[in-house]
């Protein structure tokens, strides 16, 4: 099998794994940052400047020009969240209890390949899951009027072309194809019963379901102003989706459905664009430090309207997020020719605050603390592992009159949450290198 065919096959397998996986959002809102075991070891510091080797192309596709020859990488992250929503005693439905652990364990895979055509041109291909969310409280609980289960799932395939203009400047650009699926469930009144019956155990559910394929692009540059310093800037565009699906509920439980229990719906939703900046600086032959900044344009989401037959609005999806920011700092230490150790810290400013926080996604600012390591088996094969613990700030839910989710019932709760992430990756060079491969990207060899 040819080099290109083998790498494309690996990408296809990665995409199939993505389709089978559940996504647990571990970046701001419902984004997934777990795209690289290597970069995770730094808490994603320098992800845009190549700290994640080939997997850094998720943040900046131009890093493929730092990988000579023909490469593939596979990464998998096991996300272990613990999230409990505990109502305050003043809540009218307090007697029905807390949510239980709404966090769902998830395995998030990603695959990358790059092919050097000549001294100037590279081709790359990634298959990732940029967005994902699964929250699943107990079926009957104190906040069921506002949410039962929630699921968001995505797959993104992104071919890119990289150009190395000279020894200090490279750029890359490529289209992305993204599948996006959403399924939201909440309690509704018993047919013909008062609205308050939606808070009772055994109340029926309404289910909103829709999916779509949309298109966008990625672009980026790497700059090496002098030996040992790499600056990377990457951009992922917005992707507009027109979701097609259905809204289903028992007849008579939702006035907007009229006499129907299931109606086709459409809803327009944009996933946000993202700008990532990274810098990597060699301090000694054994030590390199990395820093990163990320801006995500979550404010584009607004409140998507859900339209039924005839273009009539049957409900909406109130989001109205603010923009998200991520700041990171990390370092690696080359212990010997085989082992590289890394560590990193990051602070994430969530796009969700108490004014809009929901029971579906009780997100908040958080601190990432990570450790990682790489083992170079030989000139072709290396392995990466990483561990992260996420500390979440004290989180409150205050759904009161004026809150975008308010449905006539005040709901006040405190949230206890934390996350552990364990990741592993494999990197393989398909072609036969004529010289030993540096343990770090070429631009960092000094």
pLDDT per residue as tens digits for the range 217-247: 999 999 999 989 999 999 999 999 999 999 9
Contact between 63 and 86 (Cβ < 8 Å): no
pTM across the whole model: 0.90
pLDDT tens digit sequence for 153-164: 999 999 999 999
Which range of residues forms the domain containing residue 328? 3-444
Cα separations in angstroms, 26 against 161, 233, 282, 407: 29, 22, 30, 28
| Residue 24 pLDDT exceeds 60 | no
pLDDT-derived band at 329, boundaries 50, 70, 90: very high
Instruction: Residue 343: give its domain's CATH number.
Output: 2.40.160.60
| Residue 444 pLDDT exceeds 80 | no
Taken as a whole, the chain contains a residue count of: 446
- 29-58 per-residue burial string, b: 16 or more CB within 10 A, e: under 16: bbbbbbbbbbbbbbbbbbbbbbbbbbbbbb
CA dihedral 42, 176, 317, 250 (to 10 degrees): -110
Q: Is 14 helix (H, G, I), strand (E, B) or coil?
A: helix
| Residue 11 pLDDT exceeds 80 | no
Spatial distance between the Cα atoms of 257 and 124, rounded to a whole number of angstroms: 47
Contact between 372 and 384 (Cβ < 8 Å): yes
The count of domains in the chain is: 1
Spatial distance between the Cα atoms of 358 and 398, rounded to a whole number of angstroms: 8
Contact between 58 and 36 (Cβ < 8 Å): yes
Contact between 330 and 50 (Cβ < 8 Å): no
């Amino acid at each position: 099998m040819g080099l290109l065919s083998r790498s494309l096959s690996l990408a296809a397998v990665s995409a199939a794994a993505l389709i089978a996986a559940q996504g647990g959002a571990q970046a701001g809102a419902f984004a997934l940052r777990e795209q690289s075991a290597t970069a995770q070891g730094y808490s994603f510091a320098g992800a845009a400047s190549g700290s994640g080797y080939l997997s850094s192309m998720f943040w900046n596709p131009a890093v493929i020009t730092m990988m000579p020859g023909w490469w593939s990488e596979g990464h998998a992250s096991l996300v272990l969240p613990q999230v409990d929503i505990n109502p305050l005693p003043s809540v009218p439905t307090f007697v029905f209890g807390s949510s239980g652990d709404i966090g769902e364990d998830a395995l998030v895979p990603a695959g990358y390949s790059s092919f050097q055509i000549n001294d100037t041109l590279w081709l790359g291909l990634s298959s990732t899951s940029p967005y994902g969310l699964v929250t699943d409280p107990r079926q009957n609980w104190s906040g069921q009027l506002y949410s039962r289960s929630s699921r968001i799932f995505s797959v993104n395939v992104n071919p890119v072309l990289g150009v190395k203009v000279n020894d200090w400047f490279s750029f890359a650009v490529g289209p992305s194809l993204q599948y996006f699926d959403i399924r939201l469930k909440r309690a509704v009144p018993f047919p013909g019963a008062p609205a308050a019956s939606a808070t009772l155990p055994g109340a029926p559910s309404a289910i909103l379901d829709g999916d779509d394929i949309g298109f966008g692009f990625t672009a980026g540059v790497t700059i090496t102003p002098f030996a040992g310093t790499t600056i990377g800037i990457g951009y992922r565009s917005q992707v507009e989706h027109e979701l097609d699906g259905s809204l289903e509920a028992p007849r008579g439980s939702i006035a907007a459905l009229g006499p129907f229990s299931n109606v086709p719906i459409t809803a327009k939703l944009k996933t946000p664009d993202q700008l990532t900046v990274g810098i990597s600086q060699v301090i000694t032959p054994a030590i390199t430090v990395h820093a990163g900044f990320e801006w995500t344009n979550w404010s584009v989401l607004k409140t998507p309207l859900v339209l039924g037959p005839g273009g009539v609005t049957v409900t909406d999806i109130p989001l109205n997020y603010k923009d998200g920011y991520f700041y990171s700092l990390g370092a690696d230490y080359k212990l010997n020719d085989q082992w590289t150790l890394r560590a990193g810290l990051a602070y994430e400013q969530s796009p969700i605050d108490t004014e809009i926080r929901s029971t579906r996604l009780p997100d908040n600012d958080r601190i990432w603390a990570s450790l990682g390591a790489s083992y170079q088996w030989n000139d072709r094969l290396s392995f990466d592992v990483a561990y992260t613990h996420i500390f979440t700030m004290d989180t409150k839910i205050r759904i009161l009159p004026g809150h975008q989710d308010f449905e006539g019932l005040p709901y006040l709760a405190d949230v206890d949450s934390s996350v552990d992430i364990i990741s592993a990756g494999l990197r393989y060079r398909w072609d036969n290198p004529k010289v030993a491969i540096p343990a770090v990207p070429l631009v960092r060899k000094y």
